[in-house]
A and B are shown apart, each in its own frame.
Chain A
Amino acid sequence: MKKLLTVLLACFMIFALVGCTKSEGGQEEQGETAEKLKIAYCINGTTGDKSFFDSGTEGMQWINRDFGDKVEATTIEFTYDDSTWRTQLENAFMSEEYDIIIVGTYDMLGMTVELTAEYPDQKVWFYDEQWDFEANPRENVLSLLFKQNEGSYVVGYMAAMASQTGYITFCGGMSNTVLLDFYAGYKQGALAYNPDIRVEETWMNSFSDPSTGKNVATASYSDGADVVFACGGSAGLGVFEAALDFEGAKVIGVDGNQGAAFEAAGDTEKAARTITSMTKNVNQGFYDTCKKELDGTLEYGQNYRLGLNGGYVGAAVTAATEATFTAEQLAAVEDVKAKIASGEIVVDTAF
């Protein structure tokens, strides 16, 4: 009996381990296919977030699909256990198996700065956080920055357009520079449409706990706000849940086309509340960067800023968008987009 239970416990623990490290097996199976450009997309989380990491993984799939004869792209999941990130990243560097390592977000910045100095021959694409090339000059690093402020300006403009109460809020995950960049654009866009509109920032202090998202949004809606920009990974999903409890409450999604995702899952109520989503096309960003790498036009040691120009960020249009806005209003939005792309409107940034 005792023995059996001990074995059972051991099995359970293996379960837990398998759950955490599943993806790592894939990277070893790949080996031995020489002479292809090997790209490893290292995510400090897991796929399945329906936005950021999934979009990047999709980019890897596009690369394999279109440049499969020259490139081999894999995704490595570091999982959400942040104590292991440094070791896993260092393993990727040490293995010398990859020509290019893609890694990003604020959490990974410090360790990547150190590791790129230790391994000067390892090419790194660092995304979604400012790389200070003056303080940390690296010939082997390039940084991809999405201009979320530009996309946010557009959805902020649309939020102000859709608001009946003249009061909208921003519901962010954690107030790091990227999220503040979202807010800066959102606020400026809203004020550009209606200078008297009230824009408040709220923070969930989490990217994973949707109940906090629901509560923060409930507070905003009951205070009289009618559009909330849900900007915080899966914690932001709680905002959609809160919107269902209030008549006329609207949500703006982020990263992916969340309205379309709800529609695909059969959740028509939430889809109807999602007036638009600020899309951050990480997939497109990686794909185009890879294309440049193959053409030999990619320059290391600098920041690439990917904005509305080129379609790296944007505002998604779904059935709910068309139901909320009139054709003229949508035309005005397109006009704003064009002005930003041409540089006529300069969007505030937190960087």
Chain B
Amino acid sequence: MSVFTEIWSILSTAFSTTEFYTMIIESTAPILLAALGCAIAAKANATNMGMEGIMMMSALVAVLVSSALGGAGVGPWVGLIAAVVVGCILGFLVSVFAFRLKIDIILVGIAMNLICTGASVFLMYSITGDRTTTTSLISGKLPSLSIPLIKDIPVIGTVLSGRFVLTYLAFILVAVLSFLLFKTKLGLRIRAVGENENAAESVGISSLKIKTIALIISGAFGGLGGAFMSQCYLAYFSSGLIAGRGFIGLAACTMGSANPGIICLCCLAFGIFYAISMFSQSMKLFAISSYALLALPYAIVLIGVVIYSIYTRNKELERLRGLDSEEKTEQNKAVE
């Protein structure tokens, strides 16, 4: 009894700070953007492994462009556009190597990550003279947005209002991507190509073109994710800035079976555990080592992926059993 009340009292103090909830939202956003980018590529049967590298490169370009324009006023916005453009270009490059030059797409993704890791440091050093962070540049931030009516609601207002522009955009894009995938002609074609390329080709859809478009859009999402890290979350680029968020996005995309809604929930789950791991350290929430706590969100992702793969395997087995029994009944009929 006393143990429960004790745990509850600790939990309630931790969860009563608004920063806890804002951290959930803010740490979810970049992963969500990455996951949505992976999702549209996955729907076209093209795994965008290069998401991490795309994010890194566009994060750097956003900072460089923005600081070149003075870092204030329109600067960060132009930086954001530049980041998206770079993301698109890199997405296009992935598609060129994978589909025109027929290199395995996973290898292209890995190569993309390696190139971007090296090239971003190389560019940063040759342009700014710094090798780790661009703190010597004034690159500015994208503004935070306060929402008129919601901001006046006591607790929820401080959590939901005043977040970064790209945070709102990330969550809006969940709906936009669902619409794009399930309600538009392009979405139908992407899904058709992803399900069965030959069938799509047979009705006159150019699978090459559709896959290229999907990867370009995927790159654009990566660009937004990168710009989020270097222009919203922090106001500079650092070589360790992306820290595996592209890969977590890829995992979230797999867990959410490339469905934007489910992906959003997976990313939120990651965000919740991430925030818990951050907060429980100084609050001494649980008497666990800080290493275990910091690994918690990643462990959750791993467990999620395992559960998902068991689930899909069972479903597949069930489907095969169904086919089997159908065949049998047909045979029985034939015998009769």
One digit per residue, 1 when the CB lies within 8 angstroms of any chain A CB and 0 when it does not, for chain B 1-43 equals: 0000000000000000111100100010000000000000000
Q: Pick the contact of B235: A20, A22, A205, A241 (CB < 8 A).
A: A241
Interface residues on A, range: 35 or more
Most buried by A among B96, B234, B235: B234
B115 CB contact (under 8 Å) in A12, A220, A222, A241: A12
Residues of chain B lying within 8 A (CB to CB) of residue A49 = 131-132
| B 122-158 binary contact with A (CB < 8 Å = 1; else 0) | 1001000011110110100000000000000000000
Least distance between B297 CB and chain A CB atoms (Å): 11
In the assembled complex, the CB of A285 is this many whole angstroms from the nearest CB of chain B, namely: 22
Q: B234 → chain A, closest Cβ, in Å?
A: 5
Q: Is the CB of A211 within 8 A of B115?
A: no
Chain B residue at minimal CB-CB distance from A225: B282
Contact (Cβ within 8 A) A223 B243:
no
Bound-state Cα–Cα, A237 to B111, Å = 29
Residues in A with CB closer than 8 Å to B238 are 208-210, 234, 237
Q: Tell me which residues across on chain A come within 8 A of B328, comparing CB atoms.
A: none
Bound Cα distance A25, B101 (Å): 34
Q: Evaluate contact between B118 and A219: CB separation under 8 angstroms.
A: no
B124–chain A nearest beta-carbon distance, Å: 9
Q: Does B119 have its Cβ within 8 Å of any Cβ on chain A?
A: yes
Q: Which of A1-31 contact B (CB under 8 A)?
A: 1-2, 5-6, 9, 12-13, 15-20, 22
Partner of B283 from A12, A219, A221 at Cβ < 8 Å: A219
The reply to whether the CB of A267 lies closer than 8 angstroms to some CB of chain B is: yes
Contact A202-B282, Cβ < 8 Å, known A19-B125, A222-B19, A223-B17: yes
Are B119 and A19 in contact (CB-based, < 8 A)?
yes
Evaluate contact between A15 and B115: CB separation under 8 angstroms: yes
Among B210-247, those with CB < 8 Å from A are: 229, 233-235, 238-241, 243
CA A211 to CA B278, docked complex, whole Å: 11
Known contacts A13-B111, A205-B294, A265-B136; A200/B117 CB under 8 A: no
- Say whether A214 faces chain B, with CB atoms less than 8 Å apart: yes
When distances are taken between beta carbons in the complex, the residues of chain B under 8 Å from A46 are: 121, 131-132
A215–B118 CB distance below 8 A? no
Determine the main DSSP class of B at the interface with A.
Answer: helix
The answer on a CB contact under 8 Å between A210 and B234 is yes
Contact with B along A207-239 (1 / 0, CB 8 A): 111111011101111110100000000110110
The residue of chain B having its C-beta at the shortest distance from the C-beta of A21 within the complex is: B118
Contacts of A289 in B (CB 8 A): none
Contacts of A2 on B, CB cut-off 8 Å?
100-101
How far, in angstroms, from A204 to B277 measured CA to CA in the complex?
10
Chain A hits for B281, CB < 8 A: 200, 202-203, 216, 219
- CB-based nearest B residue for A9: B97
Q: Tell me, yes or no, whether B299 is within 8 Å of chain A by CB.
A: no
Known: A16-B119, A208-B239, A216-B281. A222 touches B101 (CB 8 A): no
- A16-B122, A46-B132, A237-B133 in contact; A206/B240 too (CB < 8 A)? yes
Contact B278 A215 (CB under 8 A): yes
In the assembled complex, the Cα of A5 lies from the Cα of B101 at a distance in Å of: 9
Given A5-B101, A202-B290, check contact A218 B278 (CB 8 Å): yes
A169 within 8 A of B: yes
Q: Interface residue tally of chain B, by bracket?
A: 35 or more
Q: Does A50 contact B (CB under 8 A)?
A: yes
What CA separation (Å) do A218 and B290 show in the bound complex?
A: 16
0/1 interface trace, chain A 283-299, chain B, CB 8 Å (1 if under): 00000000000000000
A266 in the interface (beta carbon within 8 A): yes
Q: Which residue of chain A is the closest to B112 with respect to CB atoms?
A: A12
Option from B115, B243, B284 in Cβ contact (under 8 Å) with A209: B243
- Alpha-carbon distance between A155 and B281 when the two chains are bound, in angstroms: 22
The answer to whether A44 has its CB under 8 Å from any CB of chain B is no
Contact of A19 among B118, B135, B291 (CB under 8 A): B118
Does A64 belong to the interface (CB within 8 Å)?
no
Are A223 and B96 touching (Cβ within 8 A)? no
A175 within 8 A of B: yes
- Establish whether residues A200 and B240, one from each chain, have CB atoms under 8 Å apart when the complex forms: no
Whether the Cβ atoms of B135 and A16 lie closer than 8 Å is no
Q: Is the CB of A211 within 8 A of B229?
A: yes
8 Å CB interface, B38-69 against A: none
B135 — which chain A residues lie within 8 A by C-beta?
50, 237, 262, 265, 267
Task: Decide yes or no whether A257 CB sits under 8 A from chain B.
Answer: no
B114 interface contact, C-beta 8 A: yes
State A206–B278 Cα separation when bound (angstroms). 13
Q: How far is the CB of B120 from chain A (nearest CB, A)?
A: 8
Q: Does B308 contact A (CB under 8 A)?
A: no
Whether A47 is near chain B, meaning CB under 8 Å from some CB there, is yes
Mask: chain A, 160-176; 1 = CB below 8 Å from B; 0 = not: 00000000010000010
Quick one: which of A12, A15, A210 has the most chain B CB within 10 A?
A210
Given contacts A15-B115, A16-B122, A203-B294, 7 further A-B contacts (CB under 8 A): A9-B97, A48-B133, A49-B132, A210-B133, A216-B282, A218-B19, A234-B238
Query: What is the interface of chain A, defined by CB distance below 8 A to chain B?
Result: 1-2, 5-6, 9, 12-13, 15-20, 22, 46-50, 80, 169, 175, 200-212, 214-216, 218-223, 225, 234-235, 237-238, 241, 262, 265-267
